Structure 1
Amino acid sequence: MSRFDGKAYLITGGGKGIGAALADEVAAGGGAVAVFDIDGDAATEKAAQILAGGGRALAIKGDARDDAAVRSAVAAVVDEFGRINGLAAIAGVLRLAPIAEVPDSHWRDVVETNVLGPFQFVRAVVPHLRAAGGGSIVLAGSAMAFASNPTAALYSASKGAIVAMVNSLAVELATEGIRVNCFAPGTVRTPMARELAQMQGTSGDIEAVVDSFGQGHPMGRVIEAEEVARVAAFLLSDEASAVTGSCYGVDAGMLANLA
């Protein structure tokens, strides 16, 4: 029996990057996957790939900042699969600017997507996890919650909020069999990393620039989305049955190397 057999999971940001890699991990483990993404085409493509491989999947286009869309998505998952056993809130955005120049639009984008979105999904999913007798919630943190860079105050603050949210929710929900954890990656080869390369005015080989970001890791390379997804899948699974309130580093040694 595979580790996700007979269970259903909702993954936000599931159309690309870490979320898409996690959708593949869950499907490969026998789980039904709801792929939620603001990019409807990406969600549809990922769900179609899972279905073509013999898995169970549902594509949902929506904005994690919109509570009505969040509640509608959760209802759609329950209608399709009959239950929800876990949530992985991966959707996020990156905005960089010197603190004196941060526009209100950046604040809204980052805080509403990276903090409010996961909060709304957790709020909507918890009653269904209770009905299932327990479950697992995994949120997307970042190594930048603990050690940051210039111009990244907003992003770092949003990921610090995730770590604090995980700590509180883990304690609140522990007696109900609902585990809450997060992962904290370093630089991962994702659309966000490519966006960062473009922000830096890169006009050449974007993938080469992304590769260069890995020089900041002691392992000397960028992290692949699949590597992070495997850790997230562990946290979602019953293999992590005694793990709650934790933030797993997947940073190729970055934080351990801080002087």
Structure 2
Amino acid sequence: MTRPIEREFEGKTAFVVGGSSGIGLASATLLADRGANVAIIGHSTNTPALAAELSADGKRKVIGFNGDASQADFVRQAIADTVAHFGGLDILMCSAAIHPLGNVIETDEATWDRTFAVNIKSMYLTCHYGAPHLIERGGGSIITVSSVQATSNTPNVCAYATTKGAIVTFTHTLAVDLAKHGIRANTICPGSIITPMQEHFAKGNADGRSVEEVYAGLARPVPLQRLGEASEIAELAAFLASPRSGFCTGSEFTADGGLLASLRIV
């Protein structure tokens, strides 16, 4: 019997890396609202307190871990603690990212290495330690967050965009290798979404403009004439985590307001 969408994740457990802000937080909250047990992993020191706040009304079941998701010991322990607390794992969502600015000449080696550590290694570690638990449950869903900049770039995003392209390929390998275990893997490629990261990007490209003016400029080439909301990406993540997307694996799902479909020449 199919569950109503409001409780479709009842009895399931999700592990959301980058879950303390932006798309990760919106997705973790929606999954919890629909019945999932959720672990949020964030670099912010307030992640456990945020989890407690989300769970305060007794309707959501959320725990939080504060640490560096590019460090193997931390990820391994956070997954072990999540499994011990909730009894298993069914959904992995990897959305942790940093967004440094700079071209290949300006980007120093330390920035390059750190961007790959946060944006890519965290996904590898989450899946390396998490996928065996999905296999134990007979399958599950892995959702990674890439970007439209995996294929089409603005200037001065060398390290960030390169990692986003790598995420797409990494997700393909997950889909191919883990399908026999009943695990699906898909990636979301958002356009400009209003998040703390987007605000950081806007401030870095302000050139004397306000954040709102930068947002207006980013929205101008978008056919829908606006930026996206984190809650809209969360709805896509929930679809990919659910049986409703049962025949979807190894795919990129773009949510960009039509940006990549549009050729603006005037």
Give your verdict on TM over 0.5. yes
Offset at 1:136? 0.5
Offset at 1:52? 2.3
Q: Which residues of 2 match residues 19-38 of structure 1 at below 5 A?
A: 19-38=24-43
Confirm or deny that 1:189 pairs with 2:220: no
Label 1:204 to 1:42 Cα distance change in 2 as closer, same or farther (>3 A). farther
Offset at 1:207? 4.1
Label 1:87 to 1:51 Cα distance change in 2 as closer, same or farther (>3 A). farther
Offset at 1:257? 1.2
Distance 1:63 1:45 in 2: 17
Q: Which residues of 2 match residues 99-138 of structure 1 at below 5 A?
A: 99-138=104-143
Offset at 1:75? 0.5
Distance 2:226 2:101 in 1: 23
TM-score calculated relative to the size of structure 2 = 0.93
Distance 1:203 1:50 in 2: 41
Equivalent residue, structure 1, for 2:45: 40
Q: Percent identity?
A: 33
TM-score calculated relative to the size of structure 1 = 0.95
Aligned length: 259
Label 1:211 to 1:232 Cα distance change in 2 as closer, same or farther (>3 A). farther
Confirm or deny that 1:84 pairs with 2:89: yes
- DSSP 3-state at the match of 2:132: helix
Offset at 1:181? 0.5
- DSSP 3-state at the match of 2:38: strand
Equivalent residue, structure 1, for 2:59: 54
Equivalent residue, structure 1, for 2:158: 153
Equivalent residue, structure 2, for 1:67: 72
RMSD between superposed Cα atoms in Å: 1.5
Confirm or deny that 1:172 pairs with 2:172: no
Q: Is the 8 A contact 1:20 1:46 kept in 2?
A: no
Equivalent residue, structure 2, for 1:18: 23
Label 1:157 to 1:216 Cα distance change in 2 as closer, same or farther (>3 A). same
Q: Is the 8 A contact 1:134 1:178 kept in 2?
A: yes
Equivalent residue, structure 1, for 2:149: 144
What per-residue deviation string (whole Å, max 9, x for no partner) do you get for residues 144-189 of structure 1? 0010111112111101101001111101111110000010000000
Distance 2:156 2:127 in 1: 29
